[in-house]
Amino acid sequence: MKTRILIIEDDPHIALGLEEVLKSESYEVALCNRGDKAMEAFNRLHPALIVLDVMLPGLSGYDVCKQLRAKKINTPILMLTAKGQEIDKVIGLDLGADDYVTKPFGVRELLARIQALLRRIEKPAAESIGKESFTIGDATIDPRTFELRRGKVQEELTARELKLLQLFHGHPGEVLSRDRLLNDVWGYGYYGTTRTLDQVIVQLRKKLGDNGAEPKHLVTVHGVGYKMVV
């Protein structure tokens, strides 16, 4: 059975171009051109991955992403963002997107990112994500519900954020290189920059309440990577 990808994009030239490229790689492709039709399309098609544009009629890509994650749908989301709009990427990741590609993008980059996201869901959930709750600082993380609780604050976690937190928790005080974090969480062969990792770390610090000028828990080790300070 072919892997089905749902493209939510209102520009017909981009949508048809993506469809042609993905079909040439033996994916099954479905198209949706409105944000307010995205949930209906998802429920009908049950895709393995969603390619989601930010600017859409009806509902924005941000709203679609938020809607999907609110319903505990963990299907990987690859967002298409405008060139140079750093805030687009940060907001998308904060709302639960797994990765992003900046327009205009190369076919090779797009395919590599899609393949990396799909590899993440090939492993059974029991193998890829542990079930035991754990704490970092005053935050309690529950892998069964993908939730982080800090006092009265409750935050939703993406599968990638959860995996990063589990990795840090399992190696307290150890400096984990950016390459190792990308390989362990994004997968070997990930085609992209460490900037994606850095932006996810920023979002995790916010959720941990650790986003001051000098983070206490997820600390940057310049030129190497990050470590979790106990």
pLDDT tens, residue by residue, 117-173? 887 765 444 344 567 899 998 999 999 899 999 999 999 998 889 999 999 998 999
**Domain final residue, candidates 63, 93, 122:** 122
The yes-or-no verdict on residue 107 having pLDDT over 70 is yes
> Cβ-count burial of 71 within 10 angstroms (0-12 exposed, 13-18 middle, 19+ buried)?
exposed
In this structure, of 11-20, 37-46, 178-187, the range with the lowest mean pLDDT score is 178-187
The yes-or-no verdict on residue 88 having pLDDT over 70 is no
Q: CB neighbours (10 Å) of residue 216?
A: 12
Q: How much is the pLDDT for 72? A: 83
196 pLDDT tier (thresholds 50, 70, 90): confident
The overall average pLDDT reported for the chain is: 87
Dist CA 189 CA 142 (whole Å) = 29
Domain shared by 83 and 187, yes or no:
no
C-alpha closest to that of 111 among 198, 9, 25: 25
**Domain final residue, candidates 122, 144, 176:** 122
**Domain final residue, candidates 96, 122, 148:** 122
Domain shared by 50 and 146, yes or no:
no
As for how many domains the chain has, the answer is: 2
Domain shared by 180 and 213, yes or no:
yes
Domain shared by 154 and 112, yes or no:
no
Q: Are strands 176-177 and 218-221 parallel, antiparallel or unpaired?
A: unpaired
Mean pLDDT of the region 57-73: 91
Instruction: Say which CATH number the domain at 13 has.
Output: 3.40.50.2300
Domain shared by 28 and 81, yes or no:
yes
107 residue type, one letter:
V
Percent of residues, the chain, with pLDDT higher than 90: 54
- For the stretch 39-68, what's the b/e string if a residue is b when 16 or more beta carbons lie within 10 angstroms of its beta carbon? bebbeeeebbbbbbbbebeebbbbebbbbb
Cβ atoms of 27 and 18 within 8 Å: the answer is: no
Q: Which domain holds residue 217?
A: 127-228
The yes-or-no verdict on residue 54 having pLDDT over 70 is yes
Q: How much is the pLDDT for 130? A: 63
| Helix and strand numbers, DSSP H then E, in the chain | 9, 12
Domain shared by 117 and 164, yes or no:
no
Q: How much is the pLDDT for 154? A: 93
Mean pLDDT of the region 33-44: 95
